[in-house]
Amino acid sequence: MQVLLPLKEFAASKQRLSGVLSSIERARLLQSMVGDVLGVLTLQRDIERIAICSRDRSAQWLANYYGVDFIDEDRDCGGDLNGAVNAAVRDFAAQGCTDILVAHGDLPLLSAQDLSMFLRGHNSGGEHAVTIAPDRRRGGSNLLAWRPLQKFHVQYGVDSFARHCAQARAIDAQLTICDLPGARCDIDEPEDLLLMLAQTTDSAAHNTVTFLYESGIAERLQSLQLSANNAAGENHECA
């Protein structure tokens, strides 16, 4: 199994958090989350190769730090996630790769147990297999694996989970859906950060949680939530 980790430019990442985090904070948050994901991926024995695909030099630094490969995103893709991933997968296939997992960098709660369960499910899928771990809303495809590479292409965006499932059925691949605790919570909205903070253990999301508390972001988010709850309670009493 080989793994592709596509990353957007850090400074422009996580725009839906811009109401509560600055651009610098969002970039550092992404770096922390990617560190947590790579910490899990690099310890998995069944993974032969990990490659970060990005056009951001910060991503290249992370790749060097964690000892994984770095692929320059195809400039013709213009920052389009689907184009970048499909182009990178074609290169993987040209190098003889037959089985790939596309993971995302905003899954700080992903655990070694989650990953092992996902790979076991995928490995049992036969010659033509597609395996997906959806988000908690069952809208996105947070982990996506398939073989052979030439039979499938990614379609990220709104309702990607449904589209990927439909494509798997259309090519007669064995579809396996893995509902994994650590893969459910991708970080896009402030409520996702609060949910993550409520779910963390001593070993989960270490880099991300450390950054959120040391930067004061965790306290800021919790204060905003408390204020929102109090306002909601006052409105209910007036009604």
The structural domains of the chain, ordered by start, are: 2-238 (3.90.550.10)
- Tell me what pLDDT residue 238 has: 47
Write the CB contacts of 208 (distance below 8 Å, at least 6 apart in sequence): 29, 32, 33, 35, 36, 108, 196
Residue with structure tokens 């609060």?
A: 194
Q: What is the DSSP string of 172-204?
A: TPEEEE---HHHH----SHHHHHHHHHH--SST
- Tell me what pLDDT residue 8 has: 87
Helix (H) or strand (E) holding 40, with range, is helix 23-41
Q: What is the phi/psi pair of residue 199, to 5°?
A: -100, -10
Low-confidence ranges of the chain (pLDDT < 70): 76, 78, 201-203, 227-239
Q: Give first-to-last CA distance, the chain, whole Å.
A: 57
- Specify whether the CB–CB gap between 55 and 234 falls below 8 A: no
CA dist list (Å): 142 to 13, 104, 134, 204: 16, 6, 5, 17
Q: Is 172 exposed, middle or buried (0-12, 13-18, 19+ CB in 10 A)?
A: exposed
